[in-house]
Structure 1
């Protein structure tokens, strides 16, 4: 089952005896488990019918199985949550319980940070049983984050400008739990139906709408030297707002897509959007502007520079830990990017 399908069934009050949640992305697993924990039982029922266990604390799976085979007390069901299931040494022995789970127990198993071996006996038992939800929680790709932000914003009764979603994605990365926390701030402070723009993000999330990697990328694409240097000097004075490696990663993504754009520019807009992983023609404007300034060799040099300075920022051939070193490194990199056409 997919995440949305699982959440829809839970909201409809449909619970299965076993939920086995595994994979690299903790956010979706936590969301499912938290919803069940909040809604399955009344508060008065939780003292005797809700148990949270941790894989690292259990000597074996037997205490978990024994707890799951208990009957609830003065309630229709009991809830057992096993966290850190990947730490339970004999997890495979759960296969016998999975084959015949108790209908009066809802057992939620969180197997985080890695997927279950789907060739194992346990996985086969989980897939075979109609009483089990087996869900693999996969990490989103970088180019999926802004779209996910838009979906989550709509779910909270708000709207968001595409460039504002991109700004959040660029700055907050792929940590969905962190992003969700920032979206909650916005939802608490903005009225239903409001459209989130860069000003709202600056006010409630703390990301500057003027001084961020996204704006630096646009200024470089347009050759706006004064703006480029204002942003760089802001980053140097406020290094925590835009660490060197965050800036390099952002620019690397931009120049990599620009190189692809130069090779595919004759395509239709629709095909270009798909090839570049963009969600709107709004973002194609930047690549068209940059393509008027940079040729293929310029972009290839820029990518090579970013790779070189990424290593330097990590201390390879450069003392990156010296006071102010990262800021000077950034200034040097951006100067070369601005004048990349003149580099030999």
Structure 2
């Protein structure tokens, strides 16, 4: 079942007897678990009709026995099995499978199985899929984070500039829980009728709108030596906010996209955006960068990045060489 459909059903108090929430990304598992915990029962009812179990401290017998009980103060009882990946799972646990085949109608059983995929080949998985809801919360790829940010804000009625969304994605990575927390800050501090800008990101999240890996990529793409050096000097002065590994990852991704651009037959904005996994707003930037760095030079730059990645790990460097020294040297090689 679709995640948005499930969220909509829960808001409308349309419940299923069992929910299996699994996957490598914890965000949606927590979101749906919390939504059920906060909506099925009120505070007075929870003392009688809500049971929270933890995988490492429980077993299937306990879960089944709890699930077979009837509610005392509500139409439903809610059983939450948190950290369910710690249970001693068997491919066809008879006791649990038997319950799933004929669940108690007034029980809502939630199995929160985090940081991994539940085995879809098992009888138990198929039984849950038939009788209830199975949702996989998959990790988001890097190039999908910025669109996710845009979509999350749009659902709440806010707008964000593509450059601001890309800036957040570059610095916050793929941890959706962390990103969601930062989006909450933005929605509390930016008026709903205003488009969230890079300046808003700087004021509310603390990421510099002028001195960041996103701006470094742009400066290099334009061969703007002065701006690139200013940004690298800022990074050198603020190493904790701009770790070398983050800068390297961003540069590698950027020049890999430039190389892909060189091999595209159709260089229309929509085709480039789709092929590179970027917003159409940024396609002109790649056109400029590809004209400034031909195919051969782009290959050389990618090799240079590999070389300095190894140097940052201590290979072929002097004892007193700092990451700031390496970054300045690397940017000089890219631009010359």
Same fold (TM over 0.5): yes
Q: Which of 323, 329, 332 does residue 332 from structure 1 map onto?
A: 329
8 Å Cα contact 2:16/2:133 also seen in 1 = yes
2:105 match: 103
Give the CA deviation at 1:244: 0.5
Q: How is 1:266-305 mapped onto 2 (pairs within 5 angstroms)?
A: 266-280=266-280, 282-305=281-304
- 2: CA distance, partners of 1:157 / 1:323: 52
After the TM superposition, which residues 246-257 of structure 1 pair with which residues of structure 2 at under 5 Å, given as runs?
246-257=246-257
> Against the structure 1 CA distance between its residues 182 and 158, is the aligned structure 2 distance closer, same or farther, given a 3 Å change threshold?
same
**Partner Cα separation in structure 2 for residue 117 and residue 317 of structure 1:** 45
* Per-residue Cα deviation, 1:82-108 (whole angstroms, up to 9, x for no partner): 111111003552222211111111111
State the Cα distance separating 1:47 from its structure 2 match: 1.1
Cα offset, 1:270, TM superposition? 2.0
CA shift for structure 1 position 73:
1.4
Number of corresponding residues: 333
Tell me how large the CA RMSD over aligned residues is: 1.6
Equivalent in the alignment of 2:80: 81
Distance in 2 between residues matched to 1:316 and 1:108, nearest whole Å: 50
1:265: how far off? 5.3
Uncovered stretches (5+) of structure 1, i.e. residues with no partner: 340-344
Distance, in Å, in 2 between the alignment partners of 1:294 and 1:65 is 64
**Structural mapping, 1:1-344, within 5 Å:** 1-58=1-58, 60-90=59-89, 92=91, 93=93, 94-129=96-131, 132-264=132-264, 266-280=266-280, 282-318=281-317, 325-339=322-336
Corresponding residue of 1:342: none
Deviation of the 1:80 alpha carbon? 1.0
Hey, what's the Cα distance between the residues in 1 that align with 2:210 and 2:189?
Answer: 22
2:70 partner SS: coil
CA distance in 1, matches of 2:287, 2:113: 45
- Contact (CA 8 Å) 1:68, 1:80: kept in 2 or not? yes
TM-score by length of structure 1 reads 0.93
Q: CA deviation at 1:315?
A: 4.0
Q: Distance in 2 between matches of 1:2 and 1:257?
A: 31
Offset of 1:193 from its aligned partner? 2.2
What is the SS of the residue equivalent to 1:80?
Answer: strand
* Matched-pair contact (CA < 8 Å) for 1:77–1:104: yes
In the alignment, the residues of structure 2 paired with residue 303 and residue 33 of structure 1 have an alpha-carbon distance, to the nearest angstrom, of 44
Task: Please list every run of 5 or more consecutive structure 2 residues that lacks an aligned counterpart in the other structure.
Answer: none
